[in-house]
Amino acid sequence: MQKINISKISINKETILLYVFILTFVFMSILSPSKFLSLGNLQSMASQLPELGIISLGMMVVIITGGINLSITYTAALAGIAGAFVLSSGLGSEATGIYVFITILKALAVILLTGFLCGLLNGYLVGSIGVAPILVTLGTMTLYEGVSLLFTKGGAISGFPLQYQWIGNGNILFLPVPIVIFILFALLTGILLERTAWGRSVYMFGCNPTATLFSGVNIKKVIMFVYIYSSVAAALAAIIMTSRYNSAKVDYGSSYLLQSVAIVVLGGTDIAGGYGKVIGTIIAAGIIQILSSGLNLIGINRFIVDVTMGILLIGVLLLNFFINKAGRKGVMTKQQKEMKTDKKVPA
């Protein structure tokens, strides 16, 4: 009888997720081939996924450091509203030419700058002052929501130039523009995390902030950039959202907050920090998107959709937990073996 060496079978979190993704996709396709696999539905999912996906990536970077960014969706709202003021000022939807182009560029810059400033405040409070991330971002969440309400009185701002809608609804070749933005942003995030000194420091800080500080890493700077990156991601999502809805409003995307945390954790990121991969978050965002669109499509009650998602999330978390536990046991037996062999060597 052949012995199976369990440690040789590589079951990493990302592969499991990929199987879950394929399973949900196949399951939905079988359940409702005509509706789920229709071009319309696939396109609609493809245009919704980027907003949630980009916000989740922004959330992931913070969670890898062991923090959390509760202000992420209101950062998106505030940035969108700031841009909306530029977009709706002076120009009607029938304006044309170079002025429209400049206005749109100005709006994009304002949105990204607002995101940058929101992140700067979070990063300063967390990194330099040293307040717990959950408290800082809970505070700034309320602050950014408040500022947004102050400027809009809760209403929507609309009247954008027609051309602006291309970002949310247009295509490059056959790909929706939001998908292109999402892919580029995911690539950028992956490269920054895996291939730069900053990214390396982010993971090391997440595992052990003290040892990272003691290694001469400027952790204030690292954390500052983490929160700025997270907020700029929110601003990017805001660009897609305002364009897709052709307006800006304080509660656009507010449901993404807890969803993005769920996606990041589902995607295998350690909520305590130190581990997390772009690909895991992307697949997890895909799973959530397929489930919510698919179940909606076949006419399942909204509440049952939530129940299903909750069960799926808990299931994957339990699976990860047990895999981790098995992994730790493996390390421990290995250590014990080494200690035994050490003792045989005469001192």
Partner 1 sequence: MEQKPFLQMRNISKTFPGVKALDAVKLEILPGEIHALVGENGAGKSTLIKILAGVEIPDPGAEFLIDGQPANIQQPLDSTKRGIAVIYQDFSLFPSLTVAENIGFGREIGQGRRFVNWIEIRETANRALQELGVEIDLNSQLEKLSVAKQQLVAIARALAFNARLIIMDEPTSSLSQAEVEGLFKIIRNLKAKGIAILFVSHKLQELFTIAERFTVLRDGKYIGTYLKKDLNEEKLISLMVGRKVEFIKQPGGKVGQPILEVKSISKKGNFKDISFRLHKGEILGLTGLVGAGRSEVAQALFGLNAPDEGDIILEGKKVSIHSPEEALSFGIAYIPEHRQIQGLVMRQSVAKNITLTSLKKIRGKLGFLDNNSEKNLVNQYMQVLDIRPKNPDMLTMQLSGGNQQKVVLAKWLATNPKILIVDEPTNGIDVGAKAEIHRLLRQLAAEGIAVLMISSELPEILAICDRILVMRRGRMVAEFNIDEATQEKIMNKAFLGTANSVSA
Binding residues vs partner 1 (CB under 8 A): 191, 195-197, 200-201, 203-204, 207-208, 210-218, 274, 331, 334-335, 338-339, 342, 345, 347
Comparison of 182 and 205: residue with beta carbon closer to partner 1: 205
CB of 329 to partner 1, least distance (A): 13
Comparison of 92 and 195: residue with beta carbon closer to partner 1: 195
- Assess contact for 57 and 281: CB atoms under 8 A: yes
β-strands 157-158, 247-248 pairing: antiparallel
Q: Please report, to the nearest 10 degrees, the dihedral formed by the alpha carbons of residues 227, 68, 256, 305 taken in order.
A: 160
C-alpha pair distances (Å), 160 with each of 27, 47, 103, 107: 40, 20, 10, 10
Helices 39-64 and 256-266, axial angle in degrees (round to 10): 80
Q: How far apart are CA 94 and CA 163, in angstroms?
A: 10
Angle at 80 between CA 79 and CA 83, to 5 degrees: 85
CB of 95 to partner 1, least distance (A): 40
Comparison of 202 and 237: residue with beta carbon closer to partner 1: 202
Q: How far apart are CA 324 and CA 335, in angstroms?
A: 17
- Three state DSSP letters for 305-328: HHHHHHHHHHHHHHHHHHHHHHHH
Comparison of 171 and 335: residue with beta carbon closer to partner 1: 335
Comparison of 13 and 249: residue with beta carbon closer to partner 1: 13
CB of 318 to partner 1, least distance (A): 21
Comparison of 216 and 299: residue with beta carbon closer to partner 1: 216
CB of 108 to partner 1, least distance (A): 25
- In a 3-state reduction of DSSP, which class is residue 248? strand
CB of 201 to partner 1, least distance (A): 7
Q: How far apart are CA 111 and CA 160, in angstroms?
A: 14
Beta bridge partners of 248: 157
CB of 127 to partner 1, least distance (A): 13
Comparison of 302 and 343: residue with beta carbon closer to partner 1: 343
CB of 335 to partner 1, least distance (A): 6
Helices 219-245 and 177-195, axial angle in degrees (round to 10): 170
CB of 220 to partner 1, least distance (A): 8
CB of 8 to partner 1, least distance (A): 16
Contacts of 182 (CB under 8 A, 6+ apart): 49, 50, 53, 54
- Assess contact for 69 and 229: CB atoms under 8 A: no
Comparison of 12 and 335: residue with beta carbon closer to partner 1: 335
Q: How far apart are the first and last CA of the chain?
A: 41
Comparison of 11 and 211: residue with beta carbon closer to partner 1: 211
Which residue matches tokens 């102050």?
150
Residue 301: phi and psi, rounded to 5, are -50, 135
